[in-house]
């Protein structure tokens, strides 16, 4: 009888051997889960935010440590003086205009109008000039200076113009309206000098030397004269005063009319003519008088040496 159809219990997997699932405990039971054995990272290590102090607490703010720039550096306006203090204000004197006209040689002058006139000598007949200086440049077109055919320098300016004239010698001087005339710088020598003053000028002439000299004053100005004259003629017909006592001369011819005054001195000869109420003072220790007889009766003639 065949047993091939007999049911045979195969317990290879069910009875003789334990199922893998029965003998070995599951991994989940024997080994503790990682989450139970190892403490979580969040519990063991303190958070970074707790260990390190924030930057804002450790370091003082910049605004407290560094002083503000406005306190350390002085403002520019305090250390540097303003330009208006260092530089003087522009206060320029009025511009003057000086004219030196081109002229030919001359030995006589006629000043029609000017403020101050100064006459200077030169060392050569070929050296001569005229220079006119005015306060206001706009006056320039009105200034005239030229020489006539008879060698007379004519000058016509204004009352705020000064005239400087230089020539080798002066034979005739005529002034109409001049504030001051000065002829004082050097010794003037020549044969003859004639001066005619028409206005109210202040005249000073010194150190002159001429053989003949004639001074005529018709205005109300004043004059002081000095030098050496061979023969002096002096006339005062106005209200001004003339002092010629510093002229050394052996011969004087003096004429006084009007209300002015005249002072003269001579070492030898004196000819006096007085008319009017003016005062004439004369001095001559050893003099030969040539006067009218009635002159001694006049009370306006004085002898004073």
Element (H, E) at 65: helix 62-65
Q: Are 153 and 169 in contact (CB under 8 A)?
A: no
Q: What angle (nearest 5°) sits at the alpha carbon of residue 12, between those of residues 7 and 14?
A: 90
Model confidence pLDDT, tens digit, residues 18-76: 333 333 344 433 334 443 433 444 444 344 434 444 444 444 444 444 444 444 444 44
pTM: 0.66
Residue with tokens 């969040």: 42
pLDDT, average across residues 177-183: 96
- The residue ranking higher by pLDDT, 108 or 7, is 108
Q: 12-16, 38-42, 105-109: lowest mean pLDDT where?
A: 12-16
Burial readout 46-75 (b: 16 or more C-beta within 10 A, e: otherwise): eeeeeeeeeeeeeeeeeeeeeeeeeeeeee
Distance CA 236, CA 196 (A): 10
Average model confidence (pLDDT) across the chain: 75
Q: Which domain holds residue 290?
A: 187-305
pLDDT exceeds cutoff 50 at 17 = no
Burial readout 164-192 (b: 16 or more C-beta within 10 A, e: otherwise): bbebbbbbbbbbbbbbbbebbeeebebee
DSSP annotation of 128: -
CATH code of the domain in which 281 resides: 2.160.20.120
Model confidence pLDDT, tens digit, residues 146-156: 999 999 999 99
Using a 10 angstrom Cβ sphere, with 0-12 exposed, 13-18 middle and 19 or more buried, the burial of residue 158 is: middle
pLDDT of residue 12: 40
- The residue ranking higher by pLDDT, 266 or 90, is 266
Answer yes or no: do 208 and 158 share one domain.
Answer: no
Model confidence pLDDT, tens digit, residues 197-208: 999 999 999 999
Q: 36-45, 139-148, 154-163, 176-185: lowest mean pLDDT where?
A: 36-45
Write down which residue in 138, 170, 202 finishes a domain.
170
pLDDT of residue 95: 63
Write down which residue in 170, 196, 218 finishes a domain.
170
pLDDT of residue 167: 94
pLDDT, average across residues 123-130: 92
* Domains of the chain: total: 2
* Residue 159 located in a structural domain: yes
Model confidence pLDDT, tens digit, residues 211-242: 999 999 999 999 999 999 999 999 999 899 99
Answer yes or no: do 128 and 196 share one domain.
Answer: no
Q: 116-125, 226-235, 293-302: lowest mean pLDDT where?
A: 293-302
Q: What angle (nearest 5°) sits at the alpha carbon of residue 126, between those of residues 107 and 161?
A: 55
pLDDT exceeds cutoff 80 at 14 = no
* Residue 103 located in a structural domain: yes
pLDDT tier at 90, thresholds 50, 70, 90: very low
pLDDT of residue 185: 80
Taking Cα atoms as reference points, which of 130, 127, 95 lies closest to residue 114? Answer: 130
Pairing mode of beta strands 279-283, 261-265: parallel
pLDDT exceeds cutoff 50 at 129 = yes
Answer yes or no: do 146 and 209 share one domain.
Answer: no
- The residue ranking higher by pLDDT, 13 or 185, is 185
Model confidence pLDDT, tens digit, residues 254-276: 999 989 999 999 988 888 888 87
pLDDT exceeds cutoff 60 at 118 = yes
Answer yes or no: do 106 and 136 share one domain.
Answer: yes
Q: 8-17, 121-130, 198-207: lowest mean pLDDT where?
A: 8-17
* Residue 53 located in a structural domain: no
Write down which residue in 115, 142, 170 finishes a domain.
170
* Residue 82 located in a structural domain: no
């Amino acid at each position: 009888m065949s047993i091939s159809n007999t049911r045979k219990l195969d317990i290879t997997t069910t009875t003789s051997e334990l199922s893998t699932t029965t003998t070995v405990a599951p991994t989940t039971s024997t080994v503790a889960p990682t989450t139970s054995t190892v403490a979580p990272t969040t519990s063991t290590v303190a958070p970074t935010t707790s260990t390190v102090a924030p930057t804002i607490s450790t370091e003082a703010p910049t605004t407290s440590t560094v002083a503000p720039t406005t306190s350390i550096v002085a403002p520019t306006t305090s250390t540097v003086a303003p330009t208006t203090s260092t530089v003087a204000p522009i206060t320029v004197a009025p511009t003057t205009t000086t004219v030196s006209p081109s002229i030919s040689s001359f030995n006589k002058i006629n000043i029609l109008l000017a403020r101050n006139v100064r006459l200077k000598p030169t060392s050569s007949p070929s050296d001569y000039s005229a220079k006119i200086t005015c306060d206001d440049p706009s006056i320039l077109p009105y200034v005239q200076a030229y020489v006539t055919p008879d060698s007379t320098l004519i000058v016509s300016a204004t009352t705020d113009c000064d005239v400087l004239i230089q020539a080798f010698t002066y034979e005739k001087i005529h002034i109409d309206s001049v504030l001051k005339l000065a002829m004082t710088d050097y010794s003037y020598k020549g044969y003859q000098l004639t001066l005619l003053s028409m206005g109210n000028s202040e005249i000073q002439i010194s150190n002159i030397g001429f053989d003949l000299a004639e001074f005529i004053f018709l205005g109300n100005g004043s004059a002081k004269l000095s030098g050496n004259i061979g023969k002096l003629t002096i006339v005062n017909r106005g209200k001004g005063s003339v002092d010629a006592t510093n002229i050394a001369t052996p011969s004087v011819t003096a004429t006084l009319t009007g209300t002015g005054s005249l002072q003269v001195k001579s070492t030898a000869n004196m000819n006096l003519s007085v008319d009017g109420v003016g005062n004439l003072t004369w001095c001559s220790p050893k003099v030969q008088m040539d006067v009218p007889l009635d002159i001694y009766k006049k009370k306006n003639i004085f002898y004073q040496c």
